[in-house]
Amino acid sequence: MSLMAKVLLLLWILCCLPLGGFAAPVTADSDHNQPIEITAQQLEMLQMQRQAIFTGDVVVKQTEMTLHAKKLTIYLQQDQDQFERLEATGGVRVVHLDRIATAETAIYYQADERLVLNGNAEVVQGQNKISGDEITLYLQESRSVIKSSQTGRVKAFIIPSQEQKK
């Protein structure tokens, strides 16, 4: 799998947040090998630091998924073409069908398959909404932790599926 395909696999996972019945899980028939398009005003490749930095109205598209951010940085592992982590910053918004995830930053850690949404993190599907200061997804464990600051509160607004149809 190419590096860009792996980048988009992460972004696809972000769109399918495993928050119980709140969002649909990634299934075996999900096709992560579709073409990927990344557009930005600038791409800077830092060979010595092993980084690729997309800046300025970054848009990543793959089939029905779109990520928007001001900046996307890909950190590669030393002596390998595998990525160590990905960081999307500045008005991060991921859209997949009727699911929208937003945060100030999103960081994916490859080694432990952990995704962290920071700063006014929110996931919306239809009329359902879960929000907090930080949403951490442990992808291998199918576990999510939503946190707020000491003065804030985690919020969940969930409409029973029968009510949503009205």
Residues 63-94: tens digit of each pLDDT: 877 889 999 998 888 877 777 888 999 999 98
What's the confidence (pLDDT) of residue 152?
84
**Global confidence as pTM:** 0.72
pLDDT of residue 131: 93
Distance CA 59, CA 74 (A): 14
Handedness of CA 82, 64, 137, 122 (dihedral sign): positive
Domain 3-164 has CATH 1.20.1740.10: no
Q: Give the C-alpha separation, 78 to 69, whole Å.
A: 26
Read off the pLDDT of residues 126-166 as tens digits, 9 standing for 90 and up: 889 999 999 987 877 878 889 998 888 999 898 887 555 55
**Residue 32: predicted pLDDT:** 52
Higher pLDDT, 118 or 24: 118
- CA-nearest of 76, 89, 99, 112 to 2 is 76
Structure-block tokens of residue 69: 């951010």
Domain ranges within the chain, ordered by starting residue: 3-164
**Other Cβ atoms closer than 10 A to 80:** 9
| Torsion angle, alpha carbons of 128, 131, 134, 139, to 10 | -10
The pLDDT of 13-17, averaged and rounded, is: 40
* Beta pairing partners, 67: 60, 94
